[in-house]
Amino acid sequence: MVSERLRTSYARERLAEFAERCRVRGLAVTPQRLAIIEALLNSTDHPRAERIFDEVRQRHPHISLATVHRTLETLCRIGEARKVTALHDSARYDGNLKPHHHVICVRCRRIRDVEISGFGRVLQQAGGLEGFEPLGWSLEVQALCQACQKKAPGARPRVTRRRAT
């Protein structure tokens, strides 16, 4: 898993540079936009827009959920965030743009970042891409978190496995 120390350092670095990247892209740097990216970067569990809204609303009581949704979509469009929607009925957002993967609890839907060094080499050596040049990748590991394992030991939900065709 990605350590808390690395995540905190990364969040501080990204937040410090965010305003300048917005200006370069012609986006206004508003207190609400800063609060939304800060909430996203400080989160460890890939929050839904509603959770970011609840957090930001404490400092900006007049912000609307629609503004949070639009801002998150804008952040995704300009490359400042990305959507993580696997196994979920609504979008979750990730402020970590460094190459990483996800482990997702199939029962409670908890998502955590995982770093797997050398995955790019494995992908290139595996072959089978037949004329495709990989530009990026993200591995999704479906699992049961410790809390869910303790709740119902031995009861494993069905997992969707994607197979090569």
CA distances from 164 to 12, 102, 128 (A): 40, 20, 10
Answer whether 42's CB lies under 8 Å from 59's CB: no
Cα 35 vs. chain centroid, distance in angstroms?
A: 17
| Each residue's pLDDT tens digit, 86-95 | 555 678 888 8
Within 8 A by CB and 6+ apart from 137, the residues are 119, 120, 123
The kind and range of the H/E element at 114 are strand 111-114
Domain covering 4-94 assigned CATH 1.10.10.10 in the classification: yes
Ranges for all domains in the chain classified under CATH 1.10.10.10: 4-94
| Each residue's pLDDT tens digit, 99-150 | 888 888 888 888 888 888 777 777 777 776 777 877 777 788 888 999 998 8
Q: What's the pTM?
A: 0.67
Domain covering 101-151 assigned CATH 3.50.50.60 in the classification: no
Ranges for all domains in the chain classified under CATH 3.30.1490.190: 101-151
